[in-house]
A and B are shown apart, each in its own frame.
Chain A
Amino acid sequence: MKDSPKTPFFQWMLRECFRYPRIAWSTVACLFILTLFPGVILCLTQALGTTAEQLLARSPAMVIRKIGPLGWQPIPTEYVDALGQIPGVNRVEPRIWGLAHAEYNTFTLIGFGPSAQTLKEAQIAIGAGNSTEQLDSLEFKTVPDESFKVVPTPEGLHMWPGTALVNEFDARRILQLPLGYVSDIALYFFHPQEAAYVDEEIRALFPFDVQLETSQDYAKRYNSSLFKWGGLGLLLGMPMLLAAFFFFIGQRHYLNLESRNIGIMKLMGWRVKDLLWLQAGRALLLGIPSVSLGIATSYFMVYGPGSRILIRIFMGWSEPTPDFRFALGLTTIFQLVFLIFIPYLIAYLLPMYRAASRDPGEILEKQN
């Protein structure tokens, strides 16, 4: 390295980079902050989307609901066997669930599944949340004379805040769901993508209107609103464009002051491409570490201990949130690089090219 002809240029570049340390360090700090803000928004968007995808991967491929004039209605269970005959369907699960109003809380009441069957009559398990920590028993408005004893969550089951689990018998009473009817029917497919292609066949089975919702559609709707939120967040808090503009103005001003020096360097045999490399080297030496640190810090804030605070700030969720599973998300990194780093590089290079492409004679005459 010491004997390479590139070494003197590289050493010169390093020296020029830190000749004015205050400017260099403030550039690093600015770029770090500029990367951090949109980085947190984009990482959070990506984390929410990925986590939702992973959660939805375990959900049924399709859910069938009966639609009536007033909205959803209970759906009869007599069609369950016919649904099981459809090619590609692995499992059919009639589900009992709905909103149940207690005195001070509203719960999403679930009354199906193997964990529900472990609960006895008048027993209820609730998802831990800020408003439900101290409850020993619950009374629901639909069954006012009965009290349901709060029991620990069945082993191996994680319950989100706002959910409650009872056995099927209690669920039917609370939700006022008669025998032979369920809230909706969930279908599990061998290949989940096939769910989108059997809707005609399924509708033909029912003599009434049904709404068919696939997990893919649900995920896409969620992603769409999430990306809208992320994009809005970027637009509203878009300091980086402004910052690129200020960098540009600052660089132009700095290079105007430096134009005499640039003219002298050109007279001494420096070409435009040498000056551009010098400027690019400065930009990269300052920019790459600060942008990388900004991106890394964004990831840490979203996936590390700070994520709960961010959710409260940005989404307004007050209840405990799921842990995000780490996903690198190359698209997020590309977006950050293109939104921050590229404008920053251009803000460095364009003014230098402008300054460097002037004739040295012209520059020096103007100085005189």
Chain B
Amino acid sequence: MILHPLSLCILLLEAAALFLLLQSLPALIQGHLKWDPGSASVLQLRLEPRIEIAFFRNQLGFGLFAMAYLMWIIGVSNVYSQSIPGAMCGLGVIEALSRDALPLVILKSLCLLIYFLFFCVRLETGKYPLGTYHKKTMALLLLLLPISMVSFWQTFQALTSIDASQSVHCCAALITQTPSLAGEIHIPFEPWHAKILAVLALALVALCHLGVIRNSNAQIVLIPIWLFSSHYWLKHQILPYVYGVLEHPCFWCAFRPQYYSQGFIYLGAYLIIIGLAIRIWIATKFPEHRPKNNRGLKVCFWVTVFVYELTALTPACLWKLQSGQWIQ
């Protein structure tokens, strides 16, 4: 699959992002060791513009990596399955990636997360005229470098390992083969239990946003709880209405055009909510944090939650209106 034009795009964008990071490396190392904000030394006067350029390069790099990530999601969910026998959705493509699949997903998501952290920290530290906290930003980029290199290598290997002549099993076979954890150890965990947990988590996040809960780190714990429980509820209670079958908890099928590519809305909502939560949290970590500045972000957060819930509930409501009953 390496010669697929989409694969070339993905690799080109990731390579460009990595190249921009590597180009910034000497300045980042020197800056991290010798940064002396406000000093009139020759070294500091030379370092300042180089560090600004390094930050800008990597902001561009973040944009490129995000585009590559989006292209990869599009490729896995809709494009590569057209060339892999047996693959009907992204799950079949992931199966074709074989042993490279899980590390690749983790690495790419981690890379995206660190790039985003860098972007948020840069937005905050850029507000300080003396560049007092620039070292934190440089440290994040230095942390990103090895992860980015491994991610690029894994992406390259994964794309070369897909053999379009080998048939794979897809979701209908794979999901029945994989027992759920709740089923294995007989936990009576119903989808509506997950929904209650998700609602509770969101309520606590609302209290954080309103200032009732003053611990700013609480969000970072609550958002993953919301994410996993909401996703469990979506897969087991909502997707049946999307697919029109009793049980088919395959998230990748939701990306297919015949289901109006709703998967992109769900995934987009998850990423935006996580991103906004991180952005709001990081803003509280800097001494000159002004809560009023976060109001816009909080509004965006709740609007996204509303759009997600509305998109999730619409298929179920439409089913009920058309057939007069819920799926049982």
Contact = CB atoms under 8 A, between A and B. Distances in A.
Interface of A: 42, 45, 49, 193, 196-197, 216-217, 219-221, 223-224, 227-228, 230-232, 234-235, 241, 272, 331, 334-335, 338-339, 342-343, 346, 349-350, 353-354, 357-359
B6 A331 contact: yes
Given A224-B84, A232-B3, 17 more contacts: A42-B5, A216-B85, A223-B82, A227-B4, A228-B3, A230-B3, A231-B7, A234-B5, A234-B8, A235-B3, A338-B9, A338-B67, A339-B12, A346-B64, A354-B53, A357-B49, A358-B49
24 contacts: A42-B5, A45-B5, A196-B86, A197-B172, A216-B85, A220-B84, A220-B164, A224-B83, A224-B164, A227-B83, A228-B3, A230-B4, A231-B2, A231-B7, A231-B8, A234-B5, A234-B8, A331-B74, A334-B9, A334-B74, A335-B5, A335-B9, A357-B52, A359-B49
Interface in B64-89: 64, 67, 71, 74, 78-79, 82-88
**Nearest 8 A-B pairs (CB), nearest first?**
A231-B3, A224-B164, A224-B83, A227-B4, A223-B83, A217-B85, A228-B3, A357-B52
B5 A343 contact: no
Residue of A216, A338, A343 with highest tally of chain B CB at under 10 A? A338
Nearest to B50: A357
A215 B165 CA distance: 15
B95 to A, nearest CB: 14
B56 interface: yes
B16 interface: yes
Nearest to A219: B82
Contacts of A217: 85-86, 167
Residue of B1, B2, B4 with highest tally of chain A CB at under 10 A? B4
Contact of A227 (B5, B49, B167, B172): B5
A331 B79 contact: yes
B9 A339 contact: yes
B97 interface: no
B327 to A, nearest CB: 20
Contacts of B53: 353-354, 357
Interface residues of B, number: 35
Given A350-B60, A357-B53, A358-B49, A221 B5 contact: no
B13 interface: yes
Given A193-B88, A338-B9, A346 B4 contact: no
A346 B58 CA distance: 12
A334 B164 contact: no
Given A220-B164, A231-B8, A331-B74, A342 B84 contact: no
B85 A335 contact: no
Q: Is the interface of B mostly helix, strand, loop or mixed?
A: helix
A221 B79 CA distance: 14
A354 B8 CA distance: 28
Interface of B: 1-9, 12-13, 16, 49, 52-53, 56-57, 60, 64, 67, 71, 74, 78-79, 82-88, 164-165, 167, 172
B49 A235 contact: no
Contacts of B85: 216-217, 220-221
Given A193-B88, A231-B5, A349 B83 contact: no
Contacts of A272: 52
A217 B82 CA distance: 9
B172 to A, nearest CB: 8
Contacts of A42: 5
Nearest to B78: A331
Nearest to A240: B12
Contacts of B64: 342, 346
Contact of B165 (A221, A230, A358): A221
A264 B78 CA distance: 51
